[in-house]
Amino acid sequence: MLLEANKVTKQFGAFRALDGADLRVEEGEIVGLIGPNGAGKSTFFNCLVGDMTPDRGRVVFAGRDVTRATPEEHARLGMGRTFQVPATFEDMTVAENVMVGAFLRHPERRAARAAAEKIVERVGLGDLAEARARSLGTPGRKRLEIARVLATEPRLMLLDEALAGLTPAEIVRAIELVRQIHASGVTIVIVEHIMEVILSLTGRIIVFNQGRIIAAGAPREVVEDPAVVAAYLGHSLKRGAKPLPAGEAPPEARP
Amino acid sequence: MKFGGREWALAAGAILLLVYPLLAQGAFFERLGALVLLSAIGASAWNILGGYAGQISVGHAMFYGIGAYAPLMAYKLWDAPPLFGVPAGIAIALVVAVVIGFPTFRLVGHYFSMATIAVAELVRIVVSNWDFVGAAIGLMGPATSRTVLDLSFKSSVPYYYLFLAVLAVVLGVTWQLARGRLGYCLRAIKASERAARSLGVPVRRYKLYALLLSAGFTALAGSLYALMIGFADPDSTFGLLISVDMIIIAALGGAGTLLGPLIGAVILVPLREVTNSVFGGGGSGMTYILFGGIIMLIARFEPGGLMEIGRRLAGATRRRPDTTPKVADRAA
């Protein structure tokens, strides 16, 4: 077991954002987290990566209890995350942004630079390595965030709506990138609203509603679960959505 | 190293700094040169924390004041050459930096700035009322030069070269820092602490390193001030305006750039000296009206300072990729 969260609970005043959420992720999996806005996905995500400390419950990563560990410790242990709103270092170049991640495993500047250059090429930003992050559009920023995390050489990558705001054609390319990363041996947990993305990428999905997990399992079964349809999807995806083959643009499928 | 326009400009600037005392005739201009360098040291020291790491301290006067008082205390207590007190000033500043760093670094943005103002003002008030350190009157150095170790010279030229050497050290250390892991990580912290942390940057430890370096060099600047002027009182060393000076000088030239503070000092210090001499005793008020106007112009039009304007101009002629807008969409 790579990541295990047990009965994670988080309360803000009288509002219980997360109520005993469980998650088990095996090495090599791609797991999707879905649910309506305000369902507790982001709170759960933040508890997993160390941005928030759960009030109750336990998070174990690679055999270590990380419930109260800082985000720095999570990164050192091999857990990387992207942000829903890209948090690129605006005044630094693309390569410099990635170097900040690369320094974690390569403290010497030249080694960090070499590692960063390889990753920048790998995510398709090679031409823009010396451009400042502020000059990038949304797709470039999302890619840069993924590149930065890759530079930390993670075992587990948590993607927080990494594909939101992309055009259908960009989504197809981004899915391809996520697949490549997964194929290189990185386990992935992805929070996403675009159902086609979830269906094409994940082997298992977990559905949140009102701070609780209401369904979990294989994507096809879960999207047909009446509770999930009622709480989130609004209609069954039985006939509509299908996984995206590489190179095909997805239809809009936001619930 | 390839010698381009930038390298020639740097070499010309360095030569100009070296020969300035030979070109500038008269005590006024010699003193002005030394004061420019002293301000450049202070602003460069502030720049490590405020410019690179983006932690806008408005309380650096406390380190400057500690640095200024320590040599004069060494003279007062033991009749020692003030120079001997310099390491003690730096050491005390470092201890103070650690003590205030831990609680204040929990605060971000304006809250951090306000906390540094509060601590620095507290220190100024304590110093102003503490007889042991001369209270409101302050401290004097040796009236006449007893030995060469007193570093008491009639001309400003020896100070000019002393300050130039110290500035070279400060800039050398900053340059080395900026191109290594710490420099990259401080810039990342400045842009987004949360993102830096998620990439494994030990944010609090690195901010503390930046504060220690910054505080140590600021104390050294204060010591140099005391060695040259031979006198320090609470307002001229611990005063809020000392901190404000450092910030405006660094911001005008370009906070977070190596040479920004020096460029800012070359422009602002002569301006300050001229307004002081034109308007006499009331001049200090005029100076700060001017400085206030400059802050507004920087904040409104170019937060990156003059270095950023220079970079844009260079970019416009060279068409660097980072000046092309929204180019990433074609890549992703």
The closest alpha carbon to B331, from A131, A159, A84, belongs to: A131
CA–chain centroid gap for B105, Å, is: 20
- Tens digits of per-residue pLDDT, A24-34? 999 999 999 99
Residues of A in contact with B331 (CB under 8 A): 124-125, 127-128, 139-140, 143
Domain extent for A49: 3-87+158-233
**Residues B53, B203 contacting (CB under 8 angstroms):** no
Nearest to A139 among B179, B194, B332 (CB): B332
**What chain A residue is nearest to B176 in terms of C-alpha separation?**
A109
Residues of A in contact with B202 (CB under 8 A): 72
Residue A240 lies in a domain: no
The CA distance from B208 to the nearest CA of chain A, in Å, is: 16
**Residues B66, B124 contacting (CB under 8 angstroms):** no
CATH number for position A192: 3.40.50.300
The CA distance from B197 to the nearest CA of chain A, in Å, is: 5
Task: Output the CA–CA distances (angstroms, integers) from residue A117 to A127, A137, B29, B219, in the order listed.
Answer: 11, 20, 50, 40
**What chain B residue is nearest to A108 in terms of C-alpha separation?**
B181
Under-70 pLDDT residues of chain B: 1-2, 281-284, 317-332
Residue A207 lies in a domain: yes
**What chain A residue is nearest to B201 in terms of C-alpha separation?**
A72
Query: If pLDDT is split at 50, 70 and 90, which confidence band does A242 have?
Result: low
Residue A241 lies in a domain: no
Nearest to B200 among A90, A96, A104 (CB): A104
pTM above threshold 0.80: yes
Residues of B in contact with A49 (CB under 8 A): 198
Task: List alpha helices for chain B, DSSP H.
Answer: 5-23, 27-47, 61-78, 86-104, 110-128, 157-178, 181-191, 193-198, 203-229, 234-238, 240-253, 260-279, 283-301, 305-318
**The total number of structural domains that make up chain A:** 1
- Tens digits of per-residue pLDDT, B115-130? 999 999 999 999 999 9
Neighbours of A197 (CB within 10 A): 28
The CA distance from B2 to the nearest CA of chain A, in Å, is: 19
Residue A214 lies in a domain: yes
Residue A152 lies in a domain: no
Residue A249 lies in a domain: no
Residues of A in contact with B194 (CB under 8 A): 51, 71, 83, 87
**The total number of structural domains that make up chain B:** 1
Q: In this model, does residue A79 exceed pLDDT 70? A: yes
Nearest to B326 among A96, A127, A137 (CB): A137
pLDDT at residue number B303: 83
Which of A91, A138, A156, A178 to mutate to test binding with chain B, by most B CBs within 10 Å of its CB? A91
The count of C-alpha atoms lying within 13 angstroms of the C-alpha of A75, restricted to the half-sphere facing its C-beta, is 27
pLDDT at residue number A134: 94
Residues of B at the A interface, defined by Cβ within 8 angstroms: 179-181, 184-185, 187-188, 190-192, 194-203, 256, 320-329, 331-332
**What chain A residue is nearest to B324 in terms of C-alpha separation?**
A135
Residue with tokens 């995390």: A149
Cβ of A100 and B202 within 8 Å?
no
- Cβ under 8 Å to B: A residues 107-136: 107-109, 112, 124-125, 127-128, 130-132, 135-136
Residue B269 lies in a domain: no
Higher pLDDT, B61 or A195: B61
Residue B317 lies in a domain: no
Task: Give the mean pLDDT of A61-73.
Answer: 95
Residue A167 lies in a domain: yes
pLDDT at residue number B326: 43
Contact pairs from chain A to chain B, CB under 8 Å: 135
Nearest to B321 among A128, A141, A170 (CB): A128
**What chain A residue is nearest to B325 in terms of C-alpha separation?**
A135
**What chain B residue is nearest to A143 in terms of C-alpha separation?**
B332
The CA distance from B257 to the nearest CA of chain A, in Å, is: 12
* Distance, CA of B284 to CA of B273 (rounded, Å): 9
**What chain B residue is nearest to A177 in terms of C-alpha separation?**
B332
CA–chain centroid gap for A31, Å, is: 9
**Residues A44, A33 contacting (CB under 8 angstroms):** yes
B118's tokens = 């509060």
Nearest to A130 among B321, B326, B332 (CB): B321
Domain extent for B86: 26-239
Cβ of A135 and B327 within 8 Å?
yes
The CA distance from A73 to the nearest CA of chain B, in Å, is: 7
**What chain B residue is nearest to A75 in terms of C-alpha separation?**
B200
pLDDT at residue number B287: 77
- Tens digits of per-residue pLDDT, A10-22? 999 989 999 999 9
* Torsion-angle region of B135 (φ positive above 0: left; ψ -120 to 50: alpha; else: beta): left
What letter does residue B282 receive in the DSSP assignment?
G
User: In sequence order, which residues have a C-beta less than 8 Å from that of residue A73 and are 6 or more positions away?
Assistant: A50, A66
Cβ of A149 and B199 within 8 Å?
yes
What letter does residue B180 receive in the DSSP assignment?
S
- Cβ under 8 Å to B: A residues 148-167: 148-149, 151-152, 166
Residue B15 lies in a domain: no
